[in-house]
Structure formats: structure tokens, C-alpha cells
Structure 1
């Protein structure tokens, strides 16, 4: 454990995390809480690291797509799990204005895509090839979508990536936004228990990927040309006729953060969380019914060597 702690401390210093002034320790650092469990875990681990350094922390509920104005205004101080695949245009605008600053990657190995529980391959022969969905869309139809198949998309305020793929690839599916992450899980659970058809927009890391044996549809490789040039890809008349771009997960802060809380800024910049650490905590919350605070506290206690060196490198 001592060797691991030393290694992490050296790694932190190698990435530029060195002892800094504490700054306004009397004022709370406001961290954004978005709409999915993994983000809650990510944010609470970061918050507990800041508390261990001597800071006050507030967790503030904020919509993923509309949080950036609050960051720019200083009403939020940091957001810790931004997915590049469905970040809003407002983010780029605020970065360009200099009112929001990016503070590095989180370190999660992520993927998003169009997915289905494994048993669905028996109901739609040819999966995981995306072309198979053309012939068996009717198997996914509901009263709401007839004669088209039904795709359960992300909640509306997460964007419309699933709908974009259905349009881009000219697939006969209607995208129906889920009400929440919980609603997506309910769909997966019900389809698995009933062995019924389900096509869904989903992502990893997520405990449900293994719990419900979720597979991704093989879509044409996603790249920048696909999203800007209709001539690229299998549909010459549309963009988005491809898979999601490889997802980058990163962190951002209010532009005044580093000046107000220098050591906290270094902690959040150096902060990393792996899939292997995040995913079991998500399962402990969503499957086992644990509270975020309790699950994170247990992980912090059992894994001090993974986070304490980062705190100490910024504060000592």
C-alpha cells in the first residue's frame, strides 16, 4: 500500500499537481449533480477528496445540458463527468468565452451506442449488424410507434443521439425519450425478464451492461466526417449515419475556480476514477439500494491509497 501511495503521489506531481494555497476555505465549493448514478458517484468521490483537504462542499442539482451557464456565472464551481458524445453547444460557447475552463479527463473508459439485451438477437436475426434492424423493425413496434419500431432513447434533456442515428441510417424506428436513467433500467429489466424485444440508447460504464447482458449494435465507425458530410457513410443524404464518436469523459470548472481555491483546483485537475472503481459503486446503489453517500464513504475508506496522495500533493 505504501508503494502504491508513493506511486500515485509521484504520478500526481508528474501531471503538475503540486502543493498550492488553500484559498477561500470559508466558502463552499459547489459541485454539479447531474441525472445519472455514475455522475453522482464521480462527484461525491471528488467532494470527499475536497473535504479531506479541508474544504466545504455543496452538491447542487443541475441539468447536464443547461449547467454551463451556471458554471459561467459562478453559481456552480465544477462539474466532474461531461461526456463528449452528447455535450451541448453551450459548453463550447462558454469555453470560447473563457467563462468555463476544462480541467482534464476523468479517466473512465467509456462507450455509447445503440444496444439491446442479448436475447434480442434471437428475435432479430442478423444482430449485431445494424442492417438487421431494417428487416425486423416490426418486432420492436408498439402502439405508440406503429408501423415503426421503438427505440428507447436517452432522456430528452440529454440530447437525441439515438434519434439521430435512426434518421441518419434511415432505419424505420421512432425514438421515444426515456424519462430518466431509472426508466432506461426499467426497460432493460422488463425486456430481460419477459424476453421481449428492446432497442435502447445506452452506455458503459454501467452496472446494467453486465446485469442484463447488454450488447451494442455494430454501426459504421463514427468519425468527424460522418457528423458533418452527408456524402460520408452508407446514407448519402444524411449525417449521423454512423456510430457514436469515441466518448471522452472530462471535467470543467468556473473560470475563477483556480484563483479562488488553488489547491482544490489542483485536486480536481488531477482527480481520476476508473471504470473498475466506479461501476461496482453504481451497482451497490442501483441494485443493492445503498445510498450514494454511504457507498462512496465505504469506497473512500477502503481505497485511501488511490486518492489520498492526490490530496496531499496539492496541499502539503
Structure 2
């Protein structure tokens, strides 16, 4: 009889425990299609064609894998193609957006497939640059109104009697063609073809003291190795570039921001919270970009190097 009562008691306790577990599980189980708060799932990140973007993705992707156990896919895409990925779900996050009010209007306000995710902490500067030696030997060139006096110095066999203006990757969203035309400058835009080739051209121009005028930007690791001088164009004012074909002002200075696929943000994935929290500095980005390009490290190697010495920074990003 004692044994029978003991067995009945054990059975009752077991049922209570199972019921308790079932009730607990029901309380934390998310709606169908929404992952558990502790389940990251898959994150698709766009890598745009400049080293700063690759540095962002290297560190963010590494920490998503190591700390949140996410599966991370990366895709090398132009800026425009990255935004289009929000529509079919092939891209979840763009980690470095340079303005693009037109794309925000289309995908955030219009189609409502994307949402703003906050600032990256990086300060973006676009513009026209010359090697430091040119700024020192020809200081007058730093006034854009004098640029037509230097066409003979800057002309090439490809540009004939006009000076050469060197652009970067043709997929970069720039307004150099319009500026050259609207400011009545006797120059022809020639594309280097990629960020790597643009960097090599400026490095060579400074080292060999060959004339060069071209498009460049910050943050960019090269600027800690090779000094370039920015030529101020007519001052930027909000709205001065509203008509792209008629623009005559300098590039807008940017507080770079992040954009994400709306369904990804609404999914409940802890990765979405992590990415909202992620911010760092130009120096952080440049250090990782240098390791990727000059140190020939893999993305995980460069990211681990940065993460090992900056734990106090990235721990604040965790959900």
C-alpha cells in the first residue's frame, strides 16, 4: 500500500511538471512564422563595392555568427541592386547607406519593404581630390574656378585637349558628369573601374608626382597612408542637388545610416536588435579595411583581430 501511494505521488508530480513545462513553453512560443527570441536564423548582408562596406560586413557578420549563432550570407552587389534585394528577400540589411533619398522614397515610403535602422556612426565625405604634392606646388588649383587653367597639366591621350577627371567604380552614385558640365569645366570623366584601381592611381600620383584630379571619399584607409587634398566646390546647401541635371554644388556631407528589410526587422530575430545597436567610428572601419586590403586577411581574421581588442565596444551591440 505504501509503495502504491508512493507511485501515485510520483505520477502526480510528473504530470504537474509536464503541465508546468507545457504552460511555460506556451508562454514564450512566438506566433507561427516568427522565430524564437533565442533563434537567430539566417541574415543576408549586402557588400557594396568599396572596402569600408566590406569592413562593416566582416565585423558584423563575424559577431552574428560567433555570438548569436546566426547563419550569415553575404552578397557583393551595387548599391541599387542591394536595395532591390529587399523586395524578393535576398537582402536583409545594407550596412552603409550614402543618402539615396530616391531609393528611400521608393522602397521605404512607397513599397514599404524596407525600414531605416539608425546611424552607423561613420561620417561620410565625398568630393574632388588632388594628391598633396599638387596642392603644395599648385595651390591655385584648390579654387575650383581655376581648374580650367590646369587642363594642359591634366590632359591624357584619352581626353585629348580636355583635362582628365578620374572617377572610381562606374556603379558609384556620383554627380561628377553633371558638375563638370554645369560648372563649365573643360574636363572629361574617365572611370578607373573599381575602388582598388582608384586607390592605386592616387597612390601612384603621389609617389611619382604625376598630375591627377579625381573623385574620392572618407572614411577610407588610404588617407592615413597617402595625403590627398579636397578641392571645395560651391558650398552644399540643402536642396541644391534636388535637380540632379542642374546641380552646381558640392557633395552633401553624410551621417551614414543602415537600412533593413521590414519583414526581417519584424521577424523577432535577435540579429535585428544587434544591427540596430551596431555603431562604430571611421577609425574602426579604416583599421579593418586596411587589414582586409593591405594585410590580406580573410574577413573573419580581420574581424576577430578587431573584436579581440574592442570587446567593450561590441558587447554593447548584443541584444
Number of matched residues? 283
**1:137 and 2:144 equivalent?**
no
Partner in structure 1 of residue 115 of structure 2: 101
Question: Structure 1 regions of 5+ residues with no counterpart?
Answer: 1-19, 231-237
1:77 aligns with 2:84: no
Tell whether 2:318 aligns with 1:307: no
Q: CA deviation at 1:239?
A: 2.6
Counterpart contact for 1:125–1:132, Cα < 8 Å? no
Q: Give SS of 2:140's match.
A: coil
Work out which of the two has the higher radius of gyration on C-alpha atoms and give 1 or 2: 2
Structure 1 segments (4+ residues) deviating >6 Å:
none
Quote the Cα distance in structure 2 between the aligned partners of 1:310 and 1:288: 26
2:164 aligned with 1:150, yes or no?
yes
Q: Which protein has greater RCO, CA pairs closer than 8 Å, 6+ apart?
A: 1
Q: Distance in 2 between matches of 1:214 and 1:122?
A: 11
Segments of structure 2 that go 5 or more residues without pairing to the other structure are: 1-34
CA offset digits 1:18-68 (Å, max 9, x no partner): xx952653x311111111111011112112232212322111222222211
Of the three residues 54, 57, 60, the one matched with 2:72 is 57
2:239 corresponding residue in structure 1: 225
Q: Which residue of 2 aligns with 1:194?
A: 208
Residue in structure 2 matched with residue 270 of structure 1 by the alignment: 277
CA contact (8 A) 2:168 2:197 kept: no
Give, in angstroms, the shift of residue 125 of structure 1. 4.1
Determine the C-alpha separation between the residues in 2 that align with 1:147 and 1:245.
31
Q: Conserved in 2, the CA contact under 8 Å of 1:65 and 1:88?
A: no
Residue 274 and residue 125 in structure 1: after superposition, are their counterparts in 2 closer, same or farther (change >3 A)?
A: closer
Counterpart secondary structure, 2:128: strand
The CA distance in 2 between the partners of 1:241 and 1:38, in whole Å, is 28
**In 2, Cα distance between equivalents of 1:91 and 1:103:** 12
Separation (CA, whole Å) in 1 of partners of 2:295 and 2:64: 27
Q: d(CA) in 2 for partners of 1:165 and 1:248?
A: 23
TM-score by length of 2: 0.83
Give the drift of 1:132.
2.0
Instruction: Note closer, same or farther for the CA distance 1:198–1:98 as it changes in structure 2 (3 Å cut).
Output: same
Distance 1:225 1:117 in 2: 30
